[in-house]
Structure 1
Amino acid sequence: MEIAVTTPQGNVGRHLTRMLIRAGIRPRLLTRHPDDIPADVAEYTEVVAMDSRDPRQVEAATTGVEAVYWVDPPADSSDPLADYRRATESIVAAVEANRIGRVVFQSSVGAEKRHGAGEIDGLAETEVALDRSSARVTHLRCGYFFSNLLFMTESVRAGMLQTVLPLDAPMSWVAPRDIAEVAALALMSRDETERRVQAVHGAEDLTWAEVAGILTQELGREVRVERISDGDQRDLYLRQGMPPAMADAVLEMSTGLRDGFEPEQERSIVTTTPTPLRSWIREELRPLL
């Protein structure tokens, strides 16, 4: 199969690329930074420079592709949803121009709301647009990435995490490597179903209080968590340099899924993946602290 992978150096993409190589596939890696692909990976892949928000580049880069793993790049302007819209237009145009048969889309828990979940609304727009395309589509509705904790290493070192979510509210947490495994199977599948939603909920639902407790045990140092107001969180984003619209969109990814939200797909053998948070902390986080 001719399979293309976007964001091949991302948290999911780097695992997915290696899984496909081990399966005997020479994936086409689509990236804005081809020089960043490790030499040992490049040897077994085709690397193509591409901007996911440029329809002409995406169309050219996916010529002859049978299946593509599509990730909307993170918003990087003062109009986050417009950034997502440009990426959506790119993949849909490529699907139709190149008759791409299968798209596996990295979406998120919360996209089923369609509106009111900040940047996740951009993923929802991509889902809707792909559903209208001629491709067979699998939407991976992923839980909260373990790797988001890598952005909080200074807070972990200081022993204090902050969130706008209730500390006792459970939500799905998932290892990026597990998402890659589900993605690899979906990409290589010969299933003819036109549209499939596959939630990826991780090994177990966890509250922020439980996460802090696991960090404390695994790191051998106390890590606490406190709930802060929406306004304080927004102010923090602004101090970090986010434009106001982006700060609002990032904040709403939490607040939009906070009160009474239930994922469309419940936890089951279909949606549960194996890697526990403890294992990920030992392998990925602890070596960085």
Structure 2
Amino acid sequence: MTIAVTTPTGNVGRHLQRLVVQAGERPRVLVRDPARLDDDVRDLVDAVATDQLDADSVVAATAGVDAVYWVDPPNRLDDPLDGYRLATDALLAAVRENGIRRVVFQSSAGAERRHGVGEIDGLAATETALDAARVDVTHLRCGYFFSNLLFDLDALRDGVIATAFDVDAPMPWVAPEDIAAVGAVRLLDRSWTGRHVQAVHGPEDLSFRDVAAIVGRATGRPIEAVQLSDDDVRATLTATGMTPAQVEALAGMTAGIRDGYTPENPRDYTTTTPTRLAGWVQANLVPSLG
């Protein structure tokens, strides 16, 4: 079986790539710039320079592929949802023209709502398109990434974690490496068929106030969870130079999840993963904070 892995330098992809190699496979990795791959992995994979927003590029890169781990890539288009549409079209073209029969798709909690969740609407659209294509597909509905904390290093140094989420409302938080582990198992398992939704909820639901306390203990500095309004978020994002559509994609994602959704898979043995936030913070956040 020839396996393709997208975003192999990303928070999840770099872990998933290693697991696939350790399973004895030689994956084909689709990466915009192969030079970004670590030196120790280059001889163990087949790297193909690929633009995931370009159908011709993806079709050429996946010729002969049987299974793919697909991540809709980050994009800097004026409207991020346009990027999701292009990525979806590219994936569908590859599925159709190369006869790819198995896809593990990295989606998100909230995609089950289908609309009204900002940027996650783009992931929901990819899910819907894959379902219509009648391939064997597993949608990984992932919780809030631990690694999102790395975007807030300056605020954390100032003792603040600010969010438009309800700071007292628990939600799933998950380590990227745990998503990779679940994704790799699904990708390597040849026995399943049809459509599946696999939630990846992390070890426990945490509020931002819980997270602030955990990060504070691990770093030895007091951290306060601060509630922002949606307008506060929009103003901050606009000040960074984002377009109105980019701002709404991010602000709408937070508002849509905050306003409530019902996961298709509840938390249970099959959706709970082991890596706890305190250990992840010690290994990943503390060195970054300096």
TM range (shorter): over 0.9
Cross-structure match for 2:222: 222
Cross-structure match for 1:232: 232
**Secondary structure of 1:43's aligned partner:** helix
What is the alpha-carbon distance in structure 2 between the residues aligned to residue 260 and residue 197 of structure 1? 19
**CA deviation profile, 1:6-55 (whole Å, cap 9, x unmatched):** 00000000000111111101111101111111121011000000000111
Cross-structure match for 1:170: 170
Cross-structure match for 2:204: 204
Q: CA RMSD, aligned part only?
A: 0.8
Cross-structure match for 2:128: 128
What is the alpha-carbon distance in structure 2 between the residues aligned to residue 97 and residue 166 of structure 1? 45
TM (normalized to structure 2)?
A: 0.98
Contact 1:99 1:134 in 2 (8 A): no
Cross-structure match for 1:273: 273
Moved over 6 A (4+): none
Shift of 1:261: 2.2
Give the partner amino acid of 2:257: L
**Secondary structure of 1:118's aligned partner:** coil
Cross-structure match for 1:245: 245
Shift of 1:259: 2.0
What is the alpha-carbon distance in structure 2 between the residues aligned to residue 2 and residue 193 of structure 1? 17
Cross-structure match for 1:87: 87
Cross-structure match for 1:51: 51
Cross-structure match for 1:113: 113
What is the alpha-carbon distance in structure 2 between the residues aligned to residue 180 and residue 260 of structure 1? 26
Give the paired residue count.
289
Cross-structure match for 1:148: 148
* Residue segments in structure 2 that go unaligned for 5+ positions in a row: none
Shift of 1:74: 1.6
* Residue segments in structure 1 that go unaligned for 5+ positions in a row: none
Contact 2:108 2:143 in 1 (8 A): yes
**CA deviation profile, 1:236-273 (whole Å, cap 9, x unmatched):** 00111211111011011110111232322110001000
What is the alpha-carbon distance in structure 2 between the residues aligned to residue 242 and residue 68 of structure 1? 32
Counting aligned pairs with the same residue, the percent is 54
Is 1:159 aligned to 2:159, yes or no? yes
Give the partner amino acid of 2:196: R
Shift of 1:104: 0.4
What is the alpha-carbon distance in structure 2 between the residues aligned to residue 128 and residue 218 of structure 1? 41
Contact 1:31 1:48 in 2 (8 A): yes
**Secondary structure of 1:264's aligned partner:** coil
What is the alpha-carbon distance in structure 2 between the residues aligned to residue 76 and residue 106 of structure 1? 19
Contact 1:75 1:83 in 2 (8 A): yes
Cross-structure match for 1:32: 32
What is the alpha-carbon distance in structure 2 between the residues aligned to residue 192 and residue 284 of structure 1? 34
TM (normalized to structure 1)?
A: 0.98
What is the alpha-carbon distance in structure 2 between the residues aligned to residue 246 and residue 174 of structure 1? 25
Contact 2:167 2:207 in 1 (8 A): yes
What is the alpha-carbon distance in structure 2 between the residues aligned to residue 254 and residue 214 of structure 1? 22
**Secondary structure of 2:257's aligned partner:** coil
**CA deviation profile, 1:219-250 (whole Å, cap 9, x unmatched):** 00001111011101100001112111110110
**CA deviation profile, 1:174-229 (whole Å, cap 9, x unmatched):** 00000000010000112332100000000100000000000111100001111011
Contact 2:197 2:264 in 1 (8 A): no
**Secondary structure of 1:106's aligned partner:** strand
Shift of 1:135: 1.9
**Secondary structure of 1:91's aligned partner:** helix
Shift of 1:65: 0.6
